Chains A and B, each alone.
Chain A
Amino acid sequence: MSVRLKVPTQLRQLTGGAPELDVEAASIRELLEKVGGDHPELLERVLDEGGEIRRFVNLYVGDEDVRFLEGIDTPLKDGEVVVILPAVAGGQDPMPS
Protein backbone atom coordinates (compact mmCIF):
# COMPACT_ATOMS: atom_id res chain seq x y z
CA MET A 1 0.00 0.00 0.00
CA SER A 2 2.04 2.96 -1.21
CA VAL A 3 0.71 6.42 -0.41
CA ARG A 4 2.13 9.89 -0.89
CA LEU A 5 2.35 12.49 1.87
CA LYS A 6 2.50 16.15 0.82
CA VAL A 7 4.46 18.32 3.24
CA PRO A 8 3.64 22.06 3.50
CA THR A 9 6.43 24.63 3.07
CA GLN A 10 6.40 25.40 6.80
CA LEU A 11 7.48 21.83 7.64
CA ARG A 12 9.86 21.05 4.82
CA GLN A 13 12.94 21.92 6.83
CA LEU A 14 12.07 18.83 8.87
CA THR A 15 12.09 16.56 5.81
CA GLY A 16 15.37 17.81 4.39
CA GLY A 17 13.43 20.04 2.02
CA ALA A 18 11.38 17.23 0.50
CA PRO A 19 7.87 18.42 -0.51
CA GLU A 20 6.57 14.85 -0.74
CA LEU A 21 7.28 11.52 0.91
CA ASP A 22 6.23 8.12 -0.42
CA VAL A 23 5.32 5.73 2.35
CA GLU A 24 3.91 2.21 2.73
CA ALA A 25 0.93 2.57 5.05
CA ALA A 26 -2.65 1.33 5.38
CA SER A 27 -3.95 4.10 7.65
CA ILE A 28 -3.20 7.68 8.63
CA ARG A 29 -1.92 6.41 11.94
CA GLU A 30 0.51 4.00 10.32
CA LEU A 31 1.59 6.67 7.86
CA LEU A 32 2.41 9.13 10.63
CA GLU A 33 4.18 6.49 12.71
CA LYS A 34 6.40 5.53 9.79
CA VAL A 35 7.17 9.12 8.86
CA GLY A 36 7.78 9.84 12.52
CA GLY A 37 10.45 7.14 12.58
CA ASP A 38 12.55 9.06 10.07
CA HIS A 39 11.40 12.57 11.01
CA PRO A 40 10.33 12.62 14.67
CA GLU A 41 9.99 16.39 14.73
CA LEU A 42 7.49 16.28 11.89
CA LEU A 43 5.31 13.91 13.86
CA GLU A 44 5.51 16.19 16.89
CA ARG A 45 4.19 19.10 14.83
CA VAL A 46 1.21 17.14 13.55
CA LEU A 47 0.09 15.27 16.68
CA ASP A 48 -0.23 16.57 20.20
CA GLU A 49 0.94 14.81 23.34
CA GLY A 50 -2.26 12.78 23.46
CA GLY A 51 -1.75 11.53 19.91
CA GLU A 52 -4.57 13.69 18.52
CA ILE A 53 -4.28 15.86 15.44
CA ARG A 54 -3.24 19.32 16.58
CA ARG A 55 -5.84 22.09 16.56
CA PHE A 56 -4.16 24.12 13.84
CA VAL A 57 -3.34 21.20 11.57
CA ASN A 58 -5.64 19.92 8.86
CA LEU A 59 -5.06 16.52 7.28
CA TYR A 60 -6.72 15.56 4.02
CA VAL A 61 -7.05 12.27 2.20
CA GLY A 62 -7.73 13.18 -1.40
CA ASP A 63 -10.42 15.87 -1.17
CA GLU A 64 -11.67 15.06 2.29
CA ASP A 65 -10.71 16.43 5.69
CA VAL A 66 -9.94 13.37 7.85
CA ARG A 67 -12.18 14.87 10.54
CA PHE A 68 -15.06 13.88 8.24
CA LEU A 69 -13.61 10.38 7.88
CA GLU A 70 -12.25 8.32 10.73
CA GLY A 71 -9.72 10.86 11.91
CA ILE A 72 -6.34 9.38 12.61
CA ASP A 73 -7.71 5.87 12.02
CA THR A 74 -8.82 6.67 8.47
CA PRO A 75 -7.76 3.78 6.22
CA LEU A 76 -5.66 4.47 3.13
CA LYS A 77 -5.86 2.88 -0.28
CA ASP A 78 -2.97 2.31 -2.64
CA GLY A 79 -1.95 5.47 -4.47
CA GLU A 80 -3.86 7.86 -2.21
CA VAL A 81 -2.47 11.30 -1.46
CA VAL A 82 -2.42 12.67 2.08
CA VAL A 83 -1.97 16.43 2.54
CA ILE A 84 -0.90 18.30 5.68
CA LEU A 85 -1.97 21.94 5.75
CA PRO A 86 -2.04 24.64 8.40
CA ALA A 87 -5.60 25.48 9.43
CA VAL A 88 -4.91 29.16 8.65
CA ALA A 89 -6.18 31.08 11.64
CA GLY A 90 -5.70 34.72 12.46
CA GLY A 91 -7.71 35.70 15.50
CA GLN A 92 -7.16 35.92 19.19
CA ASP A 93 -8.99 36.73 22.37
CA PRO A 94 -7.11 37.88 25.45
CA MET A 95 -4.99 41.00 25.24
CA PRO A 96 -1.25 40.62 25.16
CA SER A 97 0.42 42.41 28.03
Chain B
Amino acid sequence: MAQVRELRCRECDRTYAVAPVHVCEFCFGPLEPVYDYDAIAASVTRAGIEAGPRTIWRYSPLLPIGDGVERVDLGTGCTPLIKADNLARELGIKHLYLKNDMANPTHSFKDRVVTVALTAARAMGFTTVACASTGNLANSVAAHAARVGLRAFVFIPADLEEAKIITTAVYGANVVAVKGNYDHVNRLCSEIAQTMPWGFLNVNLRPFYSEGSKTLAFEVVEQLGWEAPEHIVVPAASGSLLTKVHRGLSELHRVGLLDTEPATSIHLAQAEGCSPIVAAFRSGIDHIRPVKPQTIAKSLAIGNPADGYYAARVVRKTEGTAEAVSDDEIIAGIRLLASTEGLFTETAGGVTIAALKRMAAAGAFQDDGRVVALLTGMGLKTAEALSGRLGPTVEIQPDLEAFRQALDFLDLEGPA
Protein backbone atom coordinates (compact mmCIF):
# COMPACT_ATOMS: atom_id res chain seq x y z
CA MET B 1 0.00 0.00 0.00
CA ALA B 2 2.38 2.55 -1.34
CA GLN B 3 0.99 5.88 -0.27
CA VAL B 4 -0.06 4.74 3.20
CA ARG B 5 2.90 4.67 5.54
CA GLU B 6 1.18 3.42 8.66
CA LEU B 7 -2.02 3.54 10.65
CA ARG B 8 -2.39 6.09 13.39
CA CYS B 9 -4.70 6.37 16.39
CA ARG B 10 -6.94 9.36 15.98
CA GLU B 11 -7.04 9.91 19.74
CA CYS B 12 -3.55 9.26 21.11
CA ASP B 13 -1.35 9.29 17.97
CA ARG B 14 0.16 5.85 18.57
CA THR B 15 1.15 4.31 15.24
CA TYR B 16 0.67 0.80 13.90
CA ALA B 17 1.99 -1.08 10.87
CA VAL B 18 -0.47 -1.33 7.96
CA ALA B 19 -2.50 -4.43 8.86
CA PRO B 20 -6.08 -5.48 9.56
CA VAL B 21 -6.32 -3.74 12.92
CA HIS B 22 -8.93 -1.11 13.55
CA VAL B 23 -8.72 0.16 17.10
CA CYS B 24 -5.83 1.40 19.12
CA GLU B 25 -4.96 -1.25 21.66
CA PHE B 26 -4.14 1.43 24.13
CA CYS B 27 -7.18 3.71 24.09
CA PHE B 28 -9.59 1.92 21.70
CA GLY B 29 -9.54 5.03 19.52
CA PRO B 30 -10.04 4.54 15.77
CA LEU B 31 -7.03 3.89 13.55
CA GLU B 32 -6.72 5.56 10.22
CA PRO B 33 -4.29 5.51 7.30
CA VAL B 34 -1.49 8.08 7.31
CA TYR B 35 -0.75 9.40 3.84
CA ASP B 36 2.39 11.07 2.64
CA TYR B 37 0.52 14.19 1.54
CA ASP B 38 3.65 16.01 0.39
CA ALA B 39 4.57 13.17 -1.94
CA ILE B 40 0.99 13.00 -3.23
CA ALA B 41 0.88 16.78 -3.72
CA ALA B 42 4.06 16.59 -5.77
CA SER B 43 2.52 14.25 -8.33
CA VAL B 44 -1.27 14.63 -8.34
CA THR B 45 -2.94 17.03 -10.79
CA ARG B 46 -6.48 17.86 -11.88
CA ALA B 47 -5.61 16.86 -15.45
CA GLY B 48 -4.19 13.55 -14.28
CA ILE B 49 -7.39 12.76 -12.39
CA GLU B 50 -9.60 13.85 -15.29
CA ALA B 51 -7.70 11.49 -17.58
CA GLY B 52 -8.29 8.57 -15.20
CA PRO B 53 -10.98 5.90 -15.28
CA ARG B 54 -14.64 6.93 -14.91
CA THR B 55 -14.77 5.30 -11.48
CA ILE B 56 -13.64 6.25 -7.98
CA TRP B 57 -10.24 4.81 -8.89
CA ARG B 58 -9.44 8.07 -10.71
CA TYR B 59 -8.69 9.30 -7.17
CA SER B 60 -6.41 6.38 -6.33
CA PRO B 61 -3.56 8.61 -5.04
CA LEU B 62 -5.87 9.50 -2.12
CA LEU B 63 -7.06 5.95 -1.46
CA PRO B 64 -5.25 3.48 0.83
CA ILE B 65 -4.32 1.06 -1.95
CA GLY B 66 -0.97 0.81 -3.71
CA ASP B 67 -0.57 1.22 -7.46
CA GLY B 68 0.12 -2.35 -8.49
CA VAL B 69 -2.70 -3.90 -6.46
CA GLU B 70 -5.40 -5.71 -8.42
CA ARG B 71 -8.72 -3.98 -7.76
CA VAL B 72 -12.08 -5.45 -6.88
CA ASP B 73 -14.06 -3.17 -9.14
CA LEU B 74 -17.61 -3.25 -10.47
CA GLY B 75 -17.36 0.26 -11.91
CA THR B 76 -18.35 2.36 -8.94
CA GLY B 77 -18.36 6.13 -8.90
CA CYS B 78 -18.54 9.11 -11.25
CA THR B 79 -22.25 9.22 -10.55
CA PRO B 80 -24.29 12.17 -11.88
CA LEU B 81 -24.42 15.52 -10.11
CA ILE B 82 -27.79 16.92 -11.13
CA LYS B 83 -28.91 20.54 -11.01
CA ALA B 84 -32.31 20.20 -9.33
CA ASP B 85 -34.17 23.39 -10.24
CA ASN B 86 -37.68 22.03 -9.73
CA LEU B 87 -37.00 20.82 -6.22
CA ALA B 88 -35.00 23.98 -5.54
CA ARG B 89 -38.01 26.12 -6.43
CA GLU B 90 -40.26 23.99 -4.26
CA LEU B 91 -37.98 24.38 -1.24
CA GLY B 92 -36.88 27.96 -1.82
CA ILE B 93 -33.23 27.08 -2.39
CA LYS B 94 -31.29 29.13 -4.91
CA HIS B 95 -28.72 26.62 -6.18
CA LEU B 96 -29.48 22.98 -5.48
CA TYR B 97 -27.61 19.92 -6.74
CA LEU B 98 -28.33 16.26 -6.13
CA LYS B 99 -25.55 13.69 -6.12
CA ASN B 100 -27.20 10.60 -7.55
CA ASP B 101 -25.33 7.75 -5.91
CA MET B 102 -28.20 5.45 -6.72
CA ALA B 103 -26.38 5.07 -10.05
CA ASN B 104 -23.70 2.84 -8.52
CA PRO B 105 -23.54 -0.89 -9.38
CA THR B 106 -25.61 -2.01 -6.38
CA HIS B 107 -27.46 1.30 -6.21
CA SER B 108 -26.00 2.90 -3.11
CA PHE B 109 -22.91 4.82 -2.02
CA LYS B 110 -21.73 1.71 -0.18
CA ASP B 111 -20.14 0.48 -3.41
CA ARG B 112 -17.52 3.18 -2.83
CA VAL B 113 -16.42 1.78 0.51
CA VAL B 114 -16.68 -1.82 -0.60
CA THR B 115 -14.53 -1.56 -3.72
CA VAL B 116 -11.78 -0.10 -1.53
CA ALA B 117 -12.23 -2.49 1.40
CA LEU B 118 -12.38 -5.68 -0.65
CA THR B 119 -9.37 -4.61 -2.67
CA ALA B 120 -7.49 -4.17 0.61
CA ALA B 121 -8.89 -7.45 1.97
CA ARG B 122 -7.67 -9.42 -1.02
CA ALA B 123 -4.27 -7.75 -0.91
CA MET B 124 -3.99 -8.80 2.75
CA GLY B 125 -4.81 -12.39 1.86
CA PHE B 126 -8.33 -12.76 3.26
CA THR B 127 -10.44 -15.38 1.53
CA THR B 128 -13.61 -14.72 3.55
CA VAL B 129 -15.08 -11.28 4.01
CA ALA B 130 -17.91 -10.28 6.30
CA CYS B 131 -19.88 -7.27 7.44
CA ALA B 132 -22.63 -6.03 9.72
CA SER B 133 -25.13 -4.18 7.59
CA THR B 134 -28.39 -2.28 7.55
CA GLY B 135 -28.85 -3.57 3.99
CA ASN B 136 -26.95 -1.55 1.44
CA LEU B 137 -23.53 -2.67 2.60
CA ALA B 138 -24.76 -6.26 2.46
CA ASN B 139 -25.82 -5.84 -1.18
CA SER B 140 -22.50 -4.38 -2.12
CA VAL B 141 -20.28 -6.83 -0.26
CA ALA B 142 -22.18 -9.76 -1.73
CA ALA B 143 -21.88 -8.42 -5.28
CA HIS B 144 -18.19 -7.52 -5.11
CA ALA B 145 -17.32 -10.80 -3.39
CA ALA B 146 -19.11 -12.75 -6.11
CA ARG B 147 -17.17 -10.93 -8.78
CA VAL B 148 -13.80 -12.06 -7.45
CA GLY B 149 -14.76 -15.36 -5.83
CA LEU B 150 -14.39 -14.34 -2.19
CA ARG B 151 -16.60 -16.08 0.35
CA ALA B 152 -18.96 -13.59 1.99
CA PHE B 153 -20.87 -13.61 5.26
CA VAL B 154 -23.25 -10.73 5.75
CA PHE B 155 -24.99 -10.16 9.07
CA ILE B 156 -28.24 -8.19 9.00
CA PRO B 157 -31.09 -7.40 11.40
CA ALA B 158 -33.78 -10.01 10.71
CA ASP B 159 -36.48 -7.35 10.17
CA LEU B 160 -34.81 -5.77 7.12
CA GLU B 161 -36.84 -4.99 4.00
CA GLU B 162 -37.42 -8.13 1.93
CA ALA B 163 -35.99 -6.49 -1.18
CA LYS B 164 -32.68 -5.86 0.55
CA ILE B 165 -32.43 -9.50 1.61
CA ILE B 166 -33.22 -10.81 -1.88
CA THR B 167 -30.79 -8.41 -3.52
CA THR B 168 -28.04 -9.72 -1.25
CA ALA B 169 -28.81 -13.43 -1.35
CA VAL B 170 -28.97 -13.43 -5.14
CA TYR B 171 -25.18 -13.02 -5.33
CA GLY B 172 -24.66 -16.23 -3.39
CA ALA B 173 -23.52 -14.66 -0.13
CA ASN B 174 -24.21 -16.31 3.22
CA VAL B 175 -26.89 -14.08 4.72
CA VAL B 176 -27.11 -14.34 8.50
CA ALA B 177 -30.34 -12.74 9.76
CA VAL B 178 -29.87 -11.85 13.40
CA LYS B 179 -32.88 -11.51 15.69
CA GLY B 180 -32.09 -8.07 16.97
CA ASN B 181 -31.37 -4.54 15.77
CA TYR B 182 -28.23 -3.32 14.00
CA ASP B 183 -26.48 -2.60 17.27
CA HIS B 184 -26.92 -6.23 18.29
CA VAL B 185 -25.62 -7.32 14.89
CA ASN B 186 -22.63 -5.02 15.17
CA ARG B 187 -21.75 -6.26 18.59
CA LEU B 188 -22.03 -9.88 17.47
CA CYS B 189 -19.68 -9.12 14.57
CA SER B 190 -17.11 -7.54 16.93
CA GLU B 191 -17.15 -10.78 18.89
CA ILE B 192 -16.98 -13.03 15.82
CA ALA B 193 -14.12 -10.94 14.44
CA GLN B 194 -12.07 -11.88 17.49
CA THR B 195 -12.42 -15.58 16.77
CA MET B 196 -12.50 -15.90 12.95
CA PRO B 197 -9.70 -15.09 10.51
CA TRP B 198 -12.08 -13.08 8.36
CA GLY B 199 -11.94 -9.60 6.93
CA PHE B 200 -14.81 -7.72 8.56
CA LEU B 201 -15.46 -4.52 6.63
CA ASN B 202 -16.75 -2.52 9.55
CA VAL B 203 -14.47 -4.10 12.12
CA ASN B 204 -10.88 -5.00 11.26
CA LEU B 205 -11.01 -3.53 7.74
CA ARG B 206 -12.66 -0.31 8.87
CA PRO B 207 -9.65 1.99 8.43
CA PHE B 208 -9.61 1.04 4.73
CA TYR B 209 -13.34 0.73 4.21
CA SER B 210 -14.28 4.16 5.48
CA GLU B 211 -11.75 5.89 3.19
CA GLY B 212 -13.90 5.06 0.15
CA SER B 213 -16.52 7.60 1.24
CA LYS B 214 -14.08 10.46 0.61
CA THR B 215 -14.63 9.96 -3.12
CA LEU B 216 -18.13 11.42 -2.84
CA ALA B 217 -16.55 14.72 -1.85
CA PHE B 218 -13.88 14.43 -4.55
CA GLU B 219 -16.48 13.89 -7.25
CA VAL B 220 -18.75 16.72 -6.14
CA VAL B 221 -15.82 19.14 -6.25
CA GLU B 222 -14.58 17.92 -9.62
CA GLN B 223 -18.13 18.08 -11.04
CA LEU B 224 -18.50 21.67 -9.84
CA GLY B 225 -15.43 22.56 -11.89
CA TRP B 226 -12.98 22.02 -9.01
CA GLU B 227 -14.87 24.17 -6.58
CA ALA B 228 -16.19 23.15 -3.18
CA PRO B 229 -19.90 23.84 -2.61
CA GLU B 230 -21.02 26.03 0.27
CA HIS B 231 -23.25 23.29 1.72
CA ILE B 232 -23.47 19.52 1.70
CA VAL B 233 -26.38 17.63 3.27
CA VAL B 234 -25.46 14.11 4.39
CA PRO B 235 -27.64 11.34 5.86
CA ALA B 236 -26.00 9.70 8.87
CA ALA B 237 -26.19 6.26 10.41
CA SER B 238 -22.78 5.49 11.97
CA GLY B 239 -21.60 8.97 10.94
CA SER B 240 -18.71 7.59 8.92
CA LEU B 241 -19.85 8.96 5.55
CA LEU B 242 -20.26 12.45 6.95
CA THR B 243 -16.85 12.57 8.61
CA LYS B 244 -15.17 11.21 5.49
CA VAL B 245 -16.89 13.71 3.20
CA HIS B 246 -15.40 16.40 5.37
CA ARG B 247 -12.00 14.74 5.36
CA GLY B 248 -12.14 14.43 1.57
CA LEU B 249 -12.73 18.15 1.15
CA SER B 250 -9.79 19.02 3.40
CA GLU B 251 -7.51 16.59 1.60
CA LEU B 252 -8.18 18.20 -1.77
CA HIS B 253 -6.74 21.38 -0.38
CA ARG B 254 -3.91 19.59 1.43
CA VAL B 255 -2.62 18.05 -1.82
CA GLY B 256 -3.09 21.23 -3.84
CA LEU B 257 -6.15 20.27 -5.91
CA LEU B 258 -8.03 23.18 -4.33
CA ASP B 259 -6.31 26.51 -3.79
CA THR B 260 -8.13 27.36 -0.59
CA GLU B 261 -9.36 25.33 2.36
CA PRO B 262 -13.02 24.55 1.62
CA ALA B 263 -15.47 26.53 3.76
CA THR B 264 -18.24 24.00 3.17
CA SER B 265 -20.88 23.68 5.88
CA ILE B 266 -21.70 20.02 6.46
CA HIS B 267 -25.34 19.39 7.44
CA LEU B 268 -26.53 16.16 9.03
CA ALA B 269 -29.82 14.33 8.44
CA GLN B 270 -31.31 11.58 10.62
CA ALA B 271 -34.71 10.04 11.24
CA GLU B 272 -36.51 11.18 14.38
CA GLY B 273 -36.81 7.55 15.48
CA CYS B 274 -33.04 7.19 15.48
CA SER B 275 -31.30 10.51 15.92
CA PRO B 276 -28.56 10.13 18.54
CA ILE B 277 -26.15 12.33 16.56
CA VAL B 278 -28.69 15.12 16.13
CA ALA B 279 -29.38 14.93 19.87
CA ALA B 280 -25.68 15.18 20.71
CA PHE B 281 -25.25 18.10 18.33
CA ARG B 282 -28.24 19.94 19.81
CA SER B 283 -27.26 19.41 23.41
CA GLY B 284 -23.80 20.71 22.68
CA ILE B 285 -22.14 17.70 24.27
CA ASP B 286 -19.83 15.30 22.49
CA HIS B 287 -21.08 12.25 24.25
CA ILE B 288 -23.45 10.11 22.19
CA ARG B 289 -26.34 8.62 24.15
CA PRO B 290 -27.31 5.42 22.36
CA VAL B 291 -30.97 4.95 21.42
CA LYS B 292 -33.22 2.05 20.36
CA PRO B 293 -34.11 2.77 16.74
CA GLN B 294 -37.74 3.01 15.70
CA THR B 295 -38.00 4.27 12.11
CA ILE B 296 -38.86 3.22 8.57
CA ALA B 297 -35.40 4.45 7.53
CA LYS B 298 -33.87 1.09 8.36
CA SER B 299 -30.63 1.78 6.53
CA LEU B 300 -29.97 4.62 8.98
CA ALA B 301 -31.12 2.72 12.07
CA ILE B 302 -27.91 2.64 14.08
CA GLY B 303 -28.65 3.51 17.70
CA ASN B 304 -25.04 3.54 18.88
CA PRO B 305 -23.16 5.23 16.04
CA ALA B 306 -19.44 4.49 16.10
CA ASP B 307 -18.50 7.79 14.45
CA GLY B 308 -21.30 9.84 15.93
CA TYR B 309 -18.94 11.79 18.13
CA TYR B 310 -16.80 12.85 15.18
CA ALA B 311 -19.83 13.56 12.99
CA ALA B 312 -21.34 15.91 15.58
CA ARG B 313 -18.02 17.70 15.85
CA VAL B 314 -17.72 18.14 12.09
CA VAL B 315 -21.19 19.68 11.90
CA ARG B 316 -20.35 22.06 14.71
CA LYS B 317 -16.93 22.97 13.36
CA THR B 318 -18.17 23.64 9.81
CA GLU B 319 -21.17 25.62 11.06
CA GLY B 320 -23.61 23.12 9.64
CA THR B 321 -27.00 22.18 11.00
CA ALA B 322 -28.68 18.92 11.98
CA GLU B 323 -32.30 17.86 11.55
CA ALA B 324 -34.32 14.82 12.59
CA VAL B 325 -37.43 14.03 10.54
CA SER B 326 -40.53 11.92 11.17
CA ASP B 327 -41.58 8.85 9.20
CA ASP B 328 -44.35 10.86 7.51
CA GLU B 329 -41.84 13.50 6.45
CA ILE B 330 -39.60 10.75 5.06
CA ILE B 331 -42.43 9.43 2.88
CA ALA B 332 -43.32 12.97 1.80
CA GLY B 333 -39.64 13.58 0.99
CA ILE B 334 -39.44 10.49 -1.20
CA ARG B 335 -42.58 11.56 -3.08
CA LEU B 336 -41.52 15.17 -3.43
CA LEU B 337 -38.19 14.19 -4.97
CA ALA B 338 -39.77 11.69 -7.32
CA SER B 339 -42.48 14.08 -8.50
CA THR B 340 -40.20 17.08 -8.99
CA GLU B 341 -36.99 15.53 -10.29
CA GLY B 342 -37.89 12.04 -11.48
CA LEU B 343 -35.62 10.30 -8.99
CA PHE B 344 -36.85 7.52 -6.72
CA THR B 345 -34.75 7.30 -3.60
CA GLU B 346 -34.95 4.96 -0.63
CA THR B 347 -36.03 5.94 2.88
CA ALA B 348 -32.54 7.27 3.69
CA GLY B 349 -32.92 9.62 0.72
CA GLY B 350 -36.34 10.58 2.05
CA VAL B 351 -34.61 11.54 5.29
CA THR B 352 -32.15 13.68 3.33
CA ILE B 353 -34.84 15.48 1.32
CA ALA B 354 -37.07 16.03 4.37
CA ALA B 355 -34.12 17.39 6.34
CA LEU B 356 -33.13 19.57 3.37
CA LYS B 357 -36.62 21.01 3.40
CA ARG B 358 -36.45 21.79 7.10
CA MET B 359 -32.99 23.30 6.79
CA ALA B 360 -34.09 25.54 3.93
CA ALA B 361 -37.13 26.67 5.94
CA ALA B 362 -34.94 27.39 8.95
CA GLY B 363 -32.67 29.61 6.86
CA ALA B 364 -29.60 27.38 6.78
CA PHE B 365 -28.90 28.30 3.15
CA GLN B 366 -29.52 32.03 3.36
CA ASP B 367 -26.13 32.78 1.85
CA ASP B 368 -27.62 31.52 -1.47
CA GLY B 369 -24.61 29.25 -1.81
CA ARG B 370 -24.56 25.98 -3.71
CA VAL B 371 -26.29 23.20 -1.78
CA VAL B 372 -25.46 19.57 -2.59
CA ALA B 373 -27.71 16.85 -1.15
CA LEU B 374 -26.41 13.28 -1.24
CA LEU B 375 -28.89 10.69 -2.52
CA THR B 376 -27.17 7.62 -1.17
CA GLY B 377 -29.59 4.80 -1.95
CA MET B 378 -32.39 3.87 -4.33
CA GLY B 379 -36.12 3.55 -3.87
CA LEU B 380 -36.88 0.07 -5.16
CA LYS B 381 -35.03 -1.49 -2.25
CA THR B 382 -37.41 0.10 0.27
CA ALA B 383 -40.56 0.27 -1.90
CA GLU B 384 -42.44 -1.54 0.86
CA ALA B 385 -42.27 1.64 2.96
CA LEU B 386 -44.75 3.12 0.46
CA SER B 387 -47.07 0.17 0.13
CA GLY B 388 -50.61 0.96 1.09
CA ARG B 389 -49.92 4.63 0.36
CA LEU B 390 -49.48 4.42 -3.40
CA GLY B 391 -51.22 2.38 -6.06
CA PRO B 392 -53.11 2.71 -9.34
CA THR B 393 -54.91 6.03 -9.80
CA VAL B 394 -58.00 4.14 -10.97
CA GLU B 395 -58.89 0.58 -11.86
CA ILE B 396 -61.31 0.07 -14.76
CA GLN B 397 -62.85 -2.50 -17.09
CA PRO B 398 -61.12 -2.79 -20.49
CA ASP B 399 -63.55 -0.54 -22.39
CA LEU B 400 -63.53 3.01 -23.65
CA GLU B 401 -66.65 4.12 -21.84
CA ALA B 402 -65.23 3.00 -18.52
CA PHE B 403 -62.14 5.07 -19.17
CA ARG B 404 -64.23 8.13 -20.11
CA GLN B 405 -66.15 7.81 -16.90
CA ALA B 406 -62.94 7.45 -14.95
CA LEU B 407 -61.56 10.62 -16.56
CA ASP B 408 -64.73 12.52 -15.66
CA PHE B 409 -64.49 11.22 -12.15
CA LEU B 410 -60.86 12.29 -11.85
CA ASP B 411 -61.72 15.75 -13.19
CA LEU B 412 -64.41 16.11 -10.60
CA GLU B 413 -61.97 15.19 -7.90
CA GLY B 414 -59.50 17.63 -9.35
CA PRO B 415 -55.74 17.12 -9.56
CA ALA B 416 -54.31 15.89 -6.25
A residues lining the B interface (CB < 8 Å): 8-11, 13, 45, 54-58, 60, 63, 65, 67-68, 83, 85-96
- Nearest chain A CB to B96 CB, angstrom units: 26
Q: A45-B28, A85-B187, A85-B191 are in contact. Are A92 and B310 (CB under 8 A)?
A: yes
**Cross-chain contact A93 with B28 (CB below 8 angstroms):** no
Question: Interface-forming stretch among B87-95, B98-106, B205-213, B393-401?
Answer: B205-213
Give Cα A85–Cα B310 distance, bound, in whole angstroms: 19
B243 at interface, CB cutoff 8 A: yes
Q: A58-B187, A63-B184 are in contact. Are A88 and B206 (CB under 8 A)?
A: yes
* Most chain A CB within a 10 A radius of its CB, from B29, B203, B242: B29
A65/B304 in contact, CB under 8 A:
yes
- Contact assessment for B310 and A10 in the assembled complex, using a CB-CB cutoff below 8 Å: no
Question: Contacts A10-B25, A11-B25, A95-B251; is A90 near B187 (CB within 8 Å)?
Answer: no
Q: Please determine whether B203 and A88 come into contact, CB atoms closer than 8 angstroms.
A: yes
Interface range, B side = 35 or more
CB atoms of B290 and A67 under 8 A apart: yes
Q: How far is the CA of A85 from the CA of B307 in the complex (A)?
A: 15
- Name the interface residues of B34-73: CB closer than 8 Å to any CB of A: 34
**A8: which of B194, B313, B317 is its contact (CB, 8 Å)?**
B194
Instruction: Determine if A86 and B23 form an interchain contact, defined as CB atoms under 8 angstroms apart.
Output: yes
CB distance from B202 to the nearest CB of A (A): 7
Knowing A85-B187, A92-B30, say if A56 contacts B202 (CB, 8 Å). no
Bound form: Cα–Cα A86–B180 in Å: 20
The 25 listed contacts between A and B (C-beta, < 8 Å) are: A11-B25, A55-B286, A56-B29, A56-B30, A65-B304, A67-B290, A83-B187, A85-B190, A88-B203, A89-B307, A89-B310, A90-B22, A90-B30, A90-B202, A90-B210, A91-B30, A91-B239, A91-B243, A91-B247, A92-B10, A92-B30, A93-B313, A93-B317, A94-B317, A95-B254
The answer to whether the Cβ of B287 comes within 8 Å of any Cβ in the partner chain is yes
A68 close to B247 (CB less than 8 A) = no
Q: B326 contacts the other chain (Cβ, under 8 Å)?
A: no
Distance in angstroms from B179 CB to nearest chain A CB is: 11
Taking a contact as CB atoms under 8 Å apart, the answer to whether B30 and A96 are in contact is no
Q: Is the CB of A93 within 8 A of B310?
A: yes
B290-312 contacts to A (CB < 8 Å): 290, 292, 304, 306-307, 309-311
Instruction: Please name all residues of chain A whose beta carbon is closer than 8 Å to the beta carbon of B246 when the two chains form the complex.
Output: 93
Q: Is the CB of B34 within 8 A of A90?
A: no
B289 contact set on A, CB distance < 8 A: 67
B8 to chain A, nearest CB (A): 7
Enumerate chain B residues within 8 angstroms of A96, measured Cβ to Cβ: 8, 34
Is B323 close to A, CB under 8 A? no
Q: Which residue of B lies closest to A11 (CB)?
A: B25
- By Cβ-Cβ distance, the 7 closest A-B pairs, closest first, are A91-B243, A91-B307, A56-B28, A89-B30, A90-B206, A91-B310, A86-B23
